[in-house]
Amino acid sequence: MFVVGFPTGIFSANCYLVATGPGEPCLIVDPGQDAVAGIADALREHRLTPAAVALTHGHLDHMWSVLPVCADHGVPAYVHPGDRALLADPLAALPADWVGALGVAGVRFREPDDVREVLDAARLEIAGVDLTVRHAPGHTPGSVVFETPGGGDDPPTMFSGDLLFAGSVGRTDLAGGDAQAMRASLARVTLAASDETVVLPGHGPRTTIGRERSTNPYLRELPRQPVREGAS
């Protein structure tokens, strides 16, 4: 699997382009603020062609550029129904003082023409990449992670959005956040993945499930979970 990632916007939310290799169709994960230029550079450099956009959740820093990316390339956007409303109104999830400070008061958003809803355990094949959707509420009601099974020289990979970071986890104090749901998602989704699973988070550097299982204080306090069948 071939992955290109770069941080976007003032929140440095990670955007990823995922393909089977250079010169192939690709999936774009979380096109955040000011992502259009970075995506165009990566497409040109690696000769990639967009096939779809996948959103780990509907917060502004992860979906800001979903409309222009989908419109420019004529591709669909995948999102969990719990966060679909945020595509047209992402400011609803932000405190009023944030909206003013970010200078986005009055900015209008709308969802792309082709939006496809994904549910827990859905299996997708996009741009030649096999994905499993894991619903992981807590940061937002419709947060998901996207997992690839790995194979050959490729380890399993988890695009974790704002569920899990290197050394930390997503916040739960914004609208729609739920600390209890976050703990349950961390146990059910992350602790059930194999240690060799590479984690590509919504912010910050990559990590692995094994590293986070042994060092992340938010995971270490959770009860141990059996590794999901097929994930070992």
pLDDT of residue 32: 96
Q: pLDDT tier at 231 (50, 70, 90 boundaries)?
A: low
Write the DSSP symbol of residue 202.
S
Give the residue from 175, 149, 154 showing the smallest Cα distance to 57: 175
d(CA 139, CA 141) in angstroms, rounded, equals: 7
Tokens of 67: 């409309």
pLDDT of residue 130: 97
CB 199 within 8 A of CB 212: yes
d(CA 2, CA 18) in angstroms, rounded, equals: 6
Q: pLDDT tier at 232 (50, 70, 90 boundaries)?
A: very low
Phi, psi of 223 (to 5 degrees): -60, 145
- Percent of the chain at pLDDT exceeding 90: 84
Domain 2-220 has CATH 3.60.15.10: yes
Is the predicted pLDDT of residue 230 greater than 70, yes or no?
Answer: no
The three-class DSSP label of residue 200 is strand
d(CA 224, CA 93) in angstroms, rounded, equals: 32
**Within the chain, what is the greatest distance between any pair of CA atoms?**
49
The three-class DSSP label of residue 91 is helix
pLDDT of residue 157: 98
Q: Give residue-wise pLDDT tens across range 100-135.
A: 777 777 778 999 999 999 999 999 999 999 999 999
Q: Where are the beta strands (DSSP E) in 118-213?
A: 123-126, 129-135, 144-148, 157-161, 164-165, 168-169, 198-201, 207-208
Q: Give residue-wise pLDDT tens across range 166-214.
A: 999 999 999 999 999 999 999 999 999 999 999 999 999 999 999 999 9
Which residues are CB-neighbours of 123 under 8 A, at least 6 positions away?
A: 130, 131, 132, 133
d(CA 98, CA 209) in angstroms, rounded, equals: 32
Q: Which of 39-48, 49-58, 153-162, 218-227 is the least confident region?
A: 218-227
Write the DSSP symbol of residue 190.
I
pLDDT of residue 211: 97
Q: Give residue-wise pLDDT tens across range 39-92.
A: 999 999 999 999 999 999 999 999 999 999 999 999 999 999 999 999 999 988
Mean pLDDT of the chain: 94
Mean pLDDT of 132-141: 98
Mean pLDDT of 10-15: 96
